[in-house]
Structure 1
């Protein structure tokens, strides 16, 4: 059984507390895709309004999104990514690339993320401080010694 106190020192656990459910990440994805309004997000995601409201509220509280007046001057509100939210771009691209590689049959069609010149993105790589590509086998985690205080 996991020690819940140990997880408070884990960046992965803390990140998942903020954005670790399907709807939160799909909202972030849609904001990267240019959607901004509640109705647009609800239509795109097909999620129940109460769940969408809850996730949007949480993402605002966590500083991932901000609420701003709609650009068209209407009474509607728009949601925008904060700098903290924009920092999730690499994660969204990584999940997309993993999904492309592992969740579709060969030749099966799927959406594509292209750069502004309509070119596909290079596969993301993890690199060390010197720029050398590394794998999980080349890393280690230094755990926090909670007993040492």
Structure 2
């Protein structure tokens, strides 16, 4: 059981780094250029995006491919990263089902608040 919990904690630490899920989500459908990812993720700075892309490359979840003329790089999910393709949408769906986000405050949905369940 110890090995499972270590792996779970490692996985959690990777995907819960600020912006990581956002970036992985953006790459689910197709490879994207840095600027394309940047435009799609509201609130991230270019410096933070560059750091997270490096982190995700180190974890072998994404890779950077250069075009044939090397004018720009494309970021793409690796085979390991593609294994998250069902997890990420399910996590997003779960969060929309169970949480309402108002401003910086996270609250559970009305049914959960009424029955006393808190997340």
Q: Same fold (TM over 0.5)?
A: yes
Matches within 5 A, 1:127-146: none
> Which residue matches 2:85?
89
Question: In the alignment, does 2:14 pair up with 1:32?
Answer: no
User: Which contiguous aligned blocks of 4+ residues in structure 1 show a shift greater than 6 angstroms?
Assistant: none
| Structure 1 stretches lacking a partner, 5+ long | 1-5, 106-149
**1 or 2, which has the higher strand percentage?**
2
Q: Give the superposition deviation at 1:96.
A: 1.9
- Residue deviations 1:95-128 (CA, integer Å, cap 9, x gap): 12202312359xxxxxxxxxxxxxxxxxxxxxxx
- CA-based RMSD: 2.4
> Which residue matches 1:57?
54
> Which residue matches 1:108?
none
Aligned length in residues: 99
User: Distance between the aligned counterparts of 2:14 and 2:100, measured in 1?
Assistant: 28
**1 or 2, which has the higher helix percentage?**
2
- What TM-score, normalized to structure 2? 0.71
User: Distance between the aligned counterparts of 1:38 and 1:7, measured in 2?
Assistant: 36
Q: What secondary structure, in the 3-state scheme, does the structure 2 residue paired with 1:96 have?
A: helix
User: Distance between the aligned counterparts of 1:42 and 1:18, measured in 2?
Assistant: 20
| Structure 2 stretches lacking a partner, 5+ long | 102-119
Highest RCO, 1 vs 2 (Cα 8 Å, sep ≥ 6) = 2
